[in-house]
Amino acid sequence: MPPEAVPPGSAADWLRHARSDLALARIQNTPEVLRESLCFHAQQAAEKALKAVLVAHAIAFPRTHNLGVLLDLLSATRPLPAEIQAADILTEYAVSSRYPGEVEPITDEEYQEALNLAERVVAWAEEGTDSRQNHIT
C-alpha cells in the first residue's frame, strides 16, 4: 500500500513506521553508525509495533517510550508470548543510549539481542494487526 493510501495514525501507519525503524536498526556495517543508535531504532521499532496492535484493538495508550507500560495494556486484554514480554528490556535504549556518557558502550551481543527482540515484536504485531484488520473488513 503506498504511504499516501495509509490513513494517518492507523495501525498500518504505526507498522509502516515500525518497519522503517527496524530497517534503520539493521544498518550495522557502517563504521560511523553507533550501536547505541541502532539499539535506539530497535526500541523504536518495538514501541511503534506495540502501538500498532493497541490501535488495531482500540486500546488507548499514553505518550510513552516505556515498553512495559504498553505491554501491560496489551496483557490486560490477552496473554502475551514470553518473547514479546521480554521486549521490555529495550526501554533502556529509548533515551539514555542516545546521549554520550549516559551508558556504557553497547556490545555487539547486546545489539544483536535488541535487534532480535525488535524483529520478533514487529513480526508479532504484523500478525496481530493483519488478523484484526481482516475481521474489520
Instruction: List, for residues 66-82, the tens digit of each pLDDT value.
Output: 999 999 999 998 899 99
- What does the alpha-carbon distance between residue 42 and residue 47 come to, in Å, rounded to a whole number? 9
Instruction: List, for residues 79-97, the tens digit of each pLDDT value.
Output: 999 999 999 999 999 987 7
Cell numbers 553507533 label which residue?
A: 34
7-136 — its CATH code?
1.20.120.330
C-alpha closest to that of 83 among 127, 41, 52, 40: 127
> Is the Cβ–Cβ distance between 103 and 91 less than 8 Å?
no
Please state whether the predicted TM-score (pTM) of the whole model is above 0.85.
yes
Q: In which band, very low, low, confident or very high, does the pLDDT at 4 lie, cut at 50, 70 and 90?
A: low
Domain boundaries of the chain, sorted by first residue: 7-136
Task: Tell how many helices (H) and how many strands (E) occur in the chain.
Answer: 5, 0
